[in-house]
Amino acid sequence: MKITIGMFGFGKTGSVVAEEIIKDEICELRWVLRKSTTKEGEYASRLLGLDHDEGKIYSVENIDLDTFYEDNYVDVIIDFSSANATENYEKAVQYGTRIVSAISKYDRVHLDQLKDLSKQTAVLYSPNITLGINFLIEASKVLQRIAPHADIEIIEEHFRGKSNVSGTALRIAEDLGLDIKQHVNSIRVGGIIGKHEVVFGLPNQTIRIVHESLNRAAFGQGAIYAAKWLVGKDKGIYTMEEAVALSFAKNPHVFEVTE
């Protein structure tokens, strides 16, 4: 059975994610919604160099959201656009569509909107949707329980133009109960896509847990995993950490590395 997907966002990351969805045998990209009218009416698949029509591009400026989601129903919406997109898929949940939000950082207003949507459908929110970073978070929690007196520092590295502390680093600090200003260290150099490291300092040893995204396709693979996991869930708000932890507990071989 195919899982039908609609996407918000078709920028640097969104276009790579769209390609991963199109390539997945279980998923079908029905449409892409974006704020811009650029490439409106064209197909994401064609723009990505593929020889079939999949993922028609629409602009939110030129559609009627009251009817769009009914006429273009999808099982899951995957959002890689911006925080205020929550306002544009409020009506989608009325038809049972689930939401995977991969926005790196929400303000309180939009986070509350996302939580409200979870009262009607299943919503998974993660500031970093990659499988690896969420495994890093879970592993760090375990290590913190084992070594509660360890000194802990978080190091996040990104491309030179990224201005704010990464939402992922903030999430790690929150999950580990650490003060952000004291324990999160940011590095901005070159074109690093994203690297996060949690350093545990003990008297006689140092333990480092590191994750680095080498290609934006990692975000697509994580989003697909999240969408497949979410399809079977009841309404409520979920995290990628939950999806990783619960799946790993049920089947420790699910994360075996393949070529």
Catalytic sites, residue numbers: 158, 162
Strands 98-101 and 122-125, bridge-based pairing: parallel
- Dihedral sign, Cα of residue 176, residue 207, residue 226, residue 68: positive
Supply the DSSP symbol for 86: G
Q: At 214, is the secondary structure helix, strand, or coil?
A: coil
Q: At what angle do helices 217-230 and 131-146 cross, to 10 degrees?
A: 80
Q: Are 75 and 98 in contact (CB under 8 A)?
A: yes
Phi, psi (degrees; rounded to nearest 5) at 256: -60, 135
What is the distance between the alpha carbons of residues 201 and 209, in angstroms, rounded to a whole number? Answer: 12
Residue 27: closest CA among 17, 13, 36: 17
What are the angstrom distances between the C-alpha of 159 and each of 16, 93, 130? 18, 35, 18
Pairing type for strands 151-158 and 122-125 reads unpaired
Burial of 126 (0-12, 13-18, 19+ CB in 10 A): buried
Secondary structure of residue 34 in the 3-state scheme: strand
